[in-house]
């Protein structure tokens, strides 16, 4: 049975880590969670987006990214034994992201216009 994570459980789980996500068994992306609640998201082989997370409604976690500061994306995070999953509020559980690994290393995000 899956249990929804609270804000404090989420903060304890992710603080200082980079988590790698899959969807339907395929790599999807990674997010670096800093202890100050700032984040860096990257789709597979994609550009890094900087943002922050904050608590949302019904124990959700809302992410606000630099490219869409007026459009937070809210997720529920679940624990089922050792497995962690994430679901956009209102989305089909079949679209859940699953944590497939973690590290304490930061994401490799080159700065804008490197070498230009």
In the chain, what are the domain boundaries? Answer: 3-101
Digit-coded pLDDT (tens) for 13-48: 999 999 999 999 999 999 999 999 999 999 877 789
**What was the pLDDT predicted at 116?**
37
Q: Domain spanning 3-101: which CATH class is it, in words?
A: mainly beta
At 58, phi and psi to the nearest 5?
55, 45
Which secondary structure element, helix H or strand E, spans residue 12, and what is its range? helix 7-14
**Burial of 22 (C-beta count, 10 Å sphere; 0-12/13-18/19+):** middle
Which residue has 């943002």 as its token pair?
Answer: 51
What is the rounded CA–CA span in Å between residue 37 and residue 57? Answer: 17
């Amino acid at each position: 049975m899956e249990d929804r994570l609270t804000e404090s459980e989420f903060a304890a789980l992710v603080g200082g880590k980079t988590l790698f996500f899959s969807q339907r068994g395929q790599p999807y992306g990674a997010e670096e969670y800093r202890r100050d609640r700032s984040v860096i998201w990257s789709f597979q082989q994609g550009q890094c987006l900087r943002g922050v997370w904050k608590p949302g409604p019904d124990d959700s976690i809302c992410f606000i990214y630099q490219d869409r500061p007026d459009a937070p994306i809210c997720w529920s995070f679940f624990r089922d034994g050792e497995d962690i999953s994430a679901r956009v509020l209102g989305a089909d559980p079949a679209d859940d992201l699953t944590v497939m690994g973690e590290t304490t290393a930061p994401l490799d995000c080159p700065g804008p216009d490197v070498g230009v």
